[in-house]
Amino acid sequence: MKIVVSLSSPDKIQKAVALGADLIELRLDLMSDDLSSVMAGVGGQCTIPIIATLRSREEGGAFTGDAEEWFSTIQPFLDLVDYVDVERKFRKFARMIHYQHLQVVASAHIKYMPSPDDLKAIERDLRAYGDVPKIAVTPSSARNLLDFLDFTLEAEKPLVTTVMGEEFRYARTFLPYFGSAWVYCHIGTPTAKGQYDIRELEQLQELLTYR
């Protein structure tokens, strides 16, 4: 399991690294309108992989533009990052991102709980254009959560799975034990509801890991 620290400011990159992050996610949709200053803050200061994410409002973020605006916003960061998070509606740009020798995190953030068959179909769709599928769901019951754990366990790897919202946030801590490659967290300011602080997550890891 690798820990991804999700940031709404590049000023916190060094702090995240010092606290044990394995990867950094830059939530460009939550940053200042002056992204040139964000680029200056990213350049050359990070020693671990960076994911550029411009999350749409439909999938829980703040970006409201069309596909062309999405790519024009992401494009200046392609020389500074290692991964780009690409939602399904922006998938036509995945090939251009691959041409830059970057990996694509193909993501789907779903505000309900898909059926087991639908989860498999979503995974196949994400793998068709991405390197690391990421599926976030919103369970409404413990049974939903059990189905999601089973899906995570049986699915092809690599795969990132997580839950949205507060009710079942505890699942973030143990989905990696069922095969999710990454877990997303914060270092003071959550970028999504339900995220743990990296220090909380590391304490929980310590408690949950067999010695």
Which positions make up the binding site for 3-dehydroquinate?
6, 25-27, 55, 172, 191, 195
Contact criterion met (CB below 8 Å) for 32 and 38: yes
Q: Is 134 a catalytic residue?
A: yes
What are the C-alpha distances in Å from 81 to residues 47, 113, 120, 131? 11, 31, 29, 15
Which uninterrupted H or E stretch holds 71?
helix 67-74
Contact criterion met (CB below 8 Å) for 161 and 151: yes
Cite the annotated binding site by residue number. Answer: 6, 25-27, 55, 172, 191, 195
The CA angle 131-132-138, to the nearest 5 degrees, is 145
Catalytic entry in 2, 12, 89, 109: 109
CA distance 119 to 96: 27
Catalytic entry in 92, 134, 186, 193: 134
Residue 56: DSSP 8-state: B
CA distance 36 to 158: 33
Edge-to-edge strands, sheet with 50-53: 160-163, 132-137, 103-109, 83-87, 50-53, 23-27, 2-7, 182-186, 196-197
Q: How many CB atoms lie within 10 A of CB 6?
A: 25
Catalytic residues: 109, 134
